[in-house]
Amino acid sequence: MASLKIAIAQINCTVGDVAGNAGRILAAAQAAHALGADLLLTPELALCGYPPEDLLLRPDFYRACDRELAALAERLPLPAIVGHPVEIEKSRYNAASLLSAGRIAATYRKHRLPTYEVFDEARYFTTGTEPGVFVINGVRCGVAICADVWGHAPAAVAHAAGAEVLLVLNASPYHLHKQLTRHATLRQRVVETGLPAIYCNMVGGQDELVFDGASFALDAAGRLMHQLPAFAEALAIVELQDGQLLPGELAPPRKHESEADVYAALVLGVSDYLGKNGFPGVLLGLSGGIDSALTLAIAVDALGADKVRAVMMPSPWTAQMSLDDSREMVRRLGVQYDEIPIAAMMEQFAVALAPTFAPLGEKPAWDTTDENLQARIRGMLLMAISNRTGRLVLTTGNKSEMAVGYATLYGDMAGGFAVIKDVFKTFVYRLASYRNSLSEVIPENIITRAPSAELKPGQLDQDSLPPYAVLDAIIEAYMERDQSPREIIASGLPEADVRRVVTLLKRNEYKRRQAPPGIRVSRRAFGKDWRYPITSRYPDEWS
């Protein structure tokens, strides 16, 4: 069998930027050609970006992709397999085409259309049935697209059609430990077919999703021969000689891998959300607590200090420690910083509302109305600065808070992007410690002190919520693994806490529907892959 040098183009594509994505593919092809590659392999739907969602319902979207694909074919210096959508005889497909000698030489149509987690491809596409085997330099290359290799049949069909190597185009979004599953899944296809396999994955942020790249290649024995870096664009040459995949570069494993990967995903998600949407910078409310501190560190790492502005809005209940820690952190990071006390505004609201509240009877000494008013004043101030400067407000709430509604609508939930929306509070601490292991930007006091919203005297989060370790375990079991309350209690978690948390989680769906989008880093996040009704009387299984 002849030899074949395949270039993996791990590129950052933007949904809808068909011309720009074509330019990235062309640039990768030119670089690959200069390195002596025979073939370029691109990610799934690289031409239009992933996921295009309801753009795929527009006929003009397919026409634009067709035009750009044909133009790209004429300009490429070497054959390339390019992912793109296509409409054929009123049916629409998730496709991969071989562009060679200035034309579209062959097209493969994806067999397995996922409708789980964040995916909804059956809404848009028709299932392909024919094998995709493209001959390049005398080598029969079997083509598969992402979910195709998560089942047995498509790879087996390619093998039966004479494929000698399996080339897989992917737009596989990141979540914690996803790479281990990818390796294991593709290794299973390799074992079943005896074919070496090359896995090319997209990289970059797209709304709630982050694609981590981390493309790789396995030889016919299932051994890892190439491993590209994660969370960065990359180009690598994989050589196939007489049916054998030759060893190549292996990106080194990272220390604190879970924390490093999640942190990198959050940084890339913020960078691309801002960059791809054209915002000039961000601002956020800094409280002296760990959530806003972590969000600030991520924003600076993603955008640079010059594009980040922090605003401290102390109330009468803000501890001096919170002010001191916030001032120290912004000093370390070098970001623009403002302090806007809100005590006078709180008093003005109280005076204005007094006649309306009077018929309701004597006012309690303190209630959630007073707490929420503080949060809403702060949200209003941040949005005013956002309007004037054009900067996007980053919210700082975590997954634990979003689950149980420990957040204020139109207050601390007001903003454009929720950076740590899918990070449990217990993992927030791990991320903060990880970031400080690189360079100490978060004052240690912020990490070690007991968390508090500081909306009333002496307030601590744990006065209103179970301990975060218990809270997060219940949420993870109910929300990510779909366990019933009966099963969660049987696992050893306290029944009273389970009842309380599940009730709060269900009751606060209406809040989550109004929350800004945020970066998905878990197997199941509140957003694209959480679709529960607001109005529901399902009682759950308790016994």
- pTM of the complete model: 0.94
The answer to whether residue 67 scores a pLDDT higher than 60 is yes
C-alpha distances out from residue 329 to 174, 259, 375, 440, 504, Å: 30, 21, 22, 10, 34
Q: Which of 480, 522, 472, 479 is nearest to 497 (CA)?
A: 472
Phi, psi of 151 (to 5 degrees): -135, 170
- Are residues 147 and 80 both part of a single domain? yes
- Are residues 154 and 241 both part of a single domain? yes
The rounded distance, in Å, linking the Cα atoms of 247 and 141 is 19
Give DSSP secondary structure letters for 449-462: SPP---SSTT--GG
Domain range enclosing 363: 259-460
Specify the pLDDT at position 367: 79
Span between the terminal Cα atoms of the chain, in Å:
63
Residue 435's pLDDT band, with cuts at 50, 70 and 90, is very high
Alpha carbon dihedral 423, 424, 428, 430, in 10-degree steps, equals -110
The rounded distance, in Å, linking the Cα atoms of 378 and 368 is 15
Give DSSP secondary structure letters for 515-528: SPPB---SSS-SST
Tell me if 496 is assigned to some domain. Answer: no
**What is the arithmetic mean of pLDDT over 147-153?**
92
Specify the pLDDT at position 473: 97
Name which of 274-288, 330-344, 376-390, 446-460 the model is least confident about: 446-460
The rounded distance, in Å, linking the Cα atoms of 10 and 212 is 9
Specify the pLDDT at position 391: 97
Residues facing 167 on adjacent strands: 143, 198
Specify the pLDDT at position 124: 96
**What is the arithmetic mean of pLDDT over 389-397?**
97
Tell me if 443 is assigned to some domain. Answer: yes
Tell me if 486 is assigned to some domain. Answer: no
Is 44 catalytic? The answer is yes
Those residues whose C-beta lies under 8 Å from the C-beta of residue 3, and which sit 6 or more positions away, are: 137, 139, 239, 240, 241, 242
- Are residues 223 and 350 both part of a single domain? no
Specify the pLDDT at position 455: 56
Specify the pLDDT at position 461: 57
Specify the pLDDT at position 543: 83
Domain with residue 115: its CATH number is: 3.60.110.10
Specify the pLDDT at position 450: 72
Specify the pLDDT at position 405: 94
The rounded distance, in Å, linking the Cα atoms of 208 and 74 is 35
Residue 457's pLDDT band, with cuts at 50, 70 and 90, is low
The rounded distance, in Å, linking the Cα atoms of 335 and 337 is 6
The rounded distance, in Å, linking the Cα atoms of 455 and 314 is 10
How crowded is residue 507: how many other Cβ atoms within 10 Å of its Cβ? 12
- Name the active-site residue from 5, 146, 371, 454: 146
165-185 per-position pLDDT tens digit: 999 999 999 999 999 999 999
DSSP secondary structure letter of residue 230: B
- Are residues 179 and 327 both part of a single domain? no
- Are residues 220 and 266 both part of a single domain? no
Task: Look at the chain and report how many structural domains it folds into.
Answer: 2
The answer to whether residue 454 scores a pLDDT higher than 60 is no
Is 146 catalytic? The answer is yes
The answer to whether residue 9 scores a pLDDT higher than 90 is yes
Tell me if 267 is assigned to some domain. Answer: yes
The rounded distance, in Å, linking the Cα atoms of 98 and 79 is 7
Q: Which of 115, 117, 172 is nearest to 149 (CA)?
A: 172
List the Cα angle 14/259/168 in 5-degree steps.
45
- Are residues 183 and 285 both part of a single domain? no
Domain with residue 388: its CATH number is: 3.40.50.620
The last residue of one of the domains, among 460, 489, 522, is: 460
C-alpha distances out from residue 437 to 79, 196, 430, 471, Å: 45, 39, 11, 27
Residue 456's pLDDT band, with cuts at 50, 70 and 90, is low
Tell me if 76 is assigned to some domain. Answer: yes
Q: What percent of the chain has pLDDT over 70?
A: 96
C-alpha distances out from residue 450 to 63, 391, 462, 516, 532, Å: 57, 31, 9, 27, 33
**Per-residue b/e over 337-348, b at no fewer than 16 CB within 10 Å?**
beeeebeebbee
- Name the active-site residue from 110, 276, 307, 399: 110
Residue 1's pLDDT band, with cuts at 50, 70 and 90, is low
Specify the pLDDT at position 451: 66
328-372 per-position pLDDT tens digit: 999 999 999 999 999 999 999 989 998 988 888 777 666 788 889
- Are residues 296 and 313 both part of a single domain? yes
Average pLDDT, the chain: 94
Cα within 13 Å of Cα(304), Cβ side: 5
- Are residues 10 and 141 both part of a single domain? yes
Query: Is the CA virtual torsion 522, 527, 531, 537 positive or negative?
Result: positive
515-533 per-position pLDDT tens digit: 999 999 999 999 988 999 9
The answer to whether residue 2 scores a pLDDT higher than 80 is no
The answer to whether residue 24 scores a pLDDT higher than 60 is yes
Specify the pLDDT at position 510: 95
The answer to whether residue 264 scores a pLDDT higher than 80 is yes
- Are residues 201 and 57 both part of a single domain? yes
Length of the chain: 543
278-333 per-position pLDDT tens digit: 999 999 999 999 999 999 999 999 999 999 999 999 998 888 998 999 999 999 99
**What is the arithmetic mean of pLDDT over 127-132?**
94
- Are residues 235 and 266 both part of a single domain? no
The last residue of one of the domains, among 221, 253, 285, is: 253
Q: Which of 167, 122, 163 is nearest to 144 (CA)?
A: 167
3-state SS, residue 169: strand
69-116 per-position pLDDT tens digit: 999 999 999 999 999 999 999 999 999 999 999 999 999 999 999 999
Tell me if 215 is assigned to some domain. Answer: yes
Tell me if 516 is assigned to some domain. Answer: no
The last residue of one of the domains, among 460, 486, 519, is: 460
Is 399 catalytic? The answer is no
Specify the pLDDT at position 254: 67
- Name the active-site residue from 5, 13, 44, 399: 44
**What is the arithmetic mean of pLDDT over 457-468?**
71
Element (DSSP H or E) covering residue 165: strand 165-170
- Are residues 281 and 237 both part of a single domain? no
- Are residues 320 and 394 both part of a single domain? yes
Specify the pLDDT at position 449: 86
The rounded distance, in Å, linking the Cα atoms of 128 and 157 is 12
Tell me if 22 is assigned to some domain. Answer: yes
The rounded distance, in Å, linking the Cα atoms of 308 and 288 is 17
